[in-house]
Every structure is written in structure tokens, then in C-alpha cells.
Structure 1
Amino acid sequence: MDDQQLQQLTEEISLTYFKKPFRHRAYFNSRLKTTGGRYLLHSHDIELNKKYLAEHGQKELEGIIKHELCHYHLHLEGKGYKHRDRDFRMLLNEVGAPRFCTPLSAKKQTRKTRTYQCGSCGQIFLRKRAMDTNRYVCGKCGGKIKEMTKKG
């Protein structure tokens, strides 16, 4: 599915479920990582995460579009469009839109850790970021710190 097909699908869903036209843009945003989509208040556009289409299929994508269209139509009407608003929750129930989307399968990222050790007392320090061993000393005994290994 490309952006043009997504635009058509969004317009169809808007007319079918909301009985109102969708007059702005709907497109895929590859930079979205954890969210299924978002409604942009300033431009009234809807951005969607293409990974949801690939992983969960078109039905899940349609649910996300319905959810974002709830934000869209309520915002344009001047009603409560935020997740906590009663108008929003009622419209979600009317059109059968999910309140939350199904999470993507988590790809566990291993974080690189660095191990430092005091030359005098043997105190071990684990750090996510590199540290300048010439600038810092051991907080326990004041001894010189050396980098041991890089895990990751």
C-alpha cells in the first residue's frame, strides 16, 4: 500500500463510519517507532506507521485510521478530541475504533556497556557512556580507573 491508496482508504472510512469527508492528507511516516499513528493539530494531517500494516495487517491499520479520524473530526468540530475526553471515548465506541493499538513485536536492543575498574581497590564501574579515565578517580579510594572490556 502506498500513500495514495492510504489516502483513498482514509477518505472511504471517514465517509462510511463518520458520514463526513476527510479533506486533509493521510500518509505513512517511517520515523514513527512505537505509535500506530498520530493526528497533527496544526495541519490536520494524519500520519500512520507502515510497520503496523506489515505486522498486523489491514484490519489493524483500519482501526488505527478510525482512531485518528476520531481525533480529526472532534478537533474540527471544537469538541473534546483528547484521549481522556468523554466525547472522544463515546465516538470511539460508536465507530468501533480501538482506544489503543496492538503493540509491535519488541526487538530487544542490546545496549553497549563499558566496564571500568579501580587499579587500587578493584571497585568495578559499569557505564553506558565512555568516560575519560584521566579526568576521574575512584570514589571509594581515590585510585586510578582503567577501562577493562567493552560488552555489547
Structure 2
Amino acid sequence: MDNQQLQVLVEKISLTSFKKVFAHTASFNPRLRTTGGRYLLHTHNIEINPKYYNEHGIEEVKRIIKHELCHYHLHLEGKGYKHRDKDFKDLMSAVGAPRFCQPLLSSKKYSNGKRYMYQCLRCGQRYDRHRKVDTAKYVCGRCKGKLKKVSE
């Protein structure tokens, strides 16, 4: 999917779900890292993270577009367009837009893939961690006993 196809999709979703015209630009922005999309207040454009299309497909992109169109239409109407506003929450539930998008599997948080298991030598409490723990520095949170690495 390219920017032109994305533009057509956003215009179509705006007409079908909101019964309003989307008169600005929608495009992919590969520099987005922590969000599925964003609505730009000054230009009224919408940017979508292309990683969501690559990993989750067109359905997730449609959900993100609905969320951003809620910001767009409410802002242009002069109503509450922020996440905490009642107008925004009401419109999101009316059109079926999600509050959050699914997490990216390729994000740094999930890319390591390694898990470290530690166990207390005194009480047997187990700790599952993404990062290594310095067993000489840290102790069990329950009984203050020494930790031992069980597995990676």
C-alpha cells in the first residue's frame, strides 16, 4: 500500500463511518516509533506508521485511521478532541475506534526474545526477567535471600 491508496482509504472511512469529508492529506510516516498514527493540529494531516500495516495488516490500519479521524473531525468542529475529553470518548465508541493499537512485535521491548529465570536460595521464590540481574548486587524481595540463575 502506498500513500495514494492510503489517502483513498482514509477518505472512504471518513465518509462511511463519520458521514463527513476528509479534505486533507493522509500519508505513511516511517519515522513514527511509539504510535500507530497521529493527527497534526496545524496542518490537519494524518500520518500512519507503516510498520502496523506490515505486521498487522489492513484491518489494524483501518482501526488506527478511525481513531485519528476522531481527532480530526472533533478538532475541526471545535469540540473536545483530546483523549480525556467526553466528546472524543463518545465519538470513538460510536464509530468503533480503539483507544490503543496492538503492540508491534518488532519493537525493542519484544525483540530480545531472551528470558532469564532466577530463584531465591532461601525461600524458593522465582523471578522471570527480560534483562539479566546482577546476583551479587540484588537479593530476593520477599526474604532478602541470595538469587541464583536457573535458566536463560
- Normalization by structure 1: what TM-score? 0.70
Q: What does the per-residue CA deviation read over 1:71-104, in whole Å, with 9 as the maximum and x for residues that have no partner?
A: 0000000000000000000000000000110110
User: Shift of the alpha carbon at 1:34?
Assistant: 1.4
Q: Please tell me whether Structure 1 or Structure 2 has the larger radius of gyration of its CA atoms.
A: 1
Structure 2: distance between partners of 1:81 and 1:34:
20
Structure 1: distance between partners of 2:34 and 2:75:
23
Within 5 Å, which residues of 2 pair with 1:1-152?
A: 1-105=1-105, 106-108=107-109
**1:29 partner amino acid:** N
Structure 2: distance between partners of 1:18 and 1:107:
35
- Normalization by structure 2: what TM-score? 0.70
Unaligned runs of 5+ in 2: 113-152
User: Shift of the alpha carbon at 1:107?
Assistant: 3.2
User: Shift of the alpha carbon at 1:51?
Assistant: 0.2
Unaligned runs of 5+ in 1: 111-152
Q: What does the per-residue CA deviation read over 1:105-137, in whole Å, with 9 as the maximum and x for residues that have no partner?
A: 133578xxxxxxxxxxxxxxxxxxxxxxxxxxx
Between the two proteins, what is the percent identity of the paired residues?
70
Structure 1: distance between partners of 2:42 and 2:34:
22
**2:34 partner amino acid:** T
Structure 2: distance between partners of 1:107 and 1:33:
10
**2:3 partner amino acid:** D
Structure 1: distance between partners of 2:108 and 2:32:
15
Q: What does the per-residue CA deviation read over 1:13-48, in whole Å, with 9 as the maximum and x for residues that have no partner?
A: 000000000000000001001100000000000000
- Aligned residue-pair number: 110
**1:58 partner amino acid:** I
Map of 1:138 onto structure 2 = none
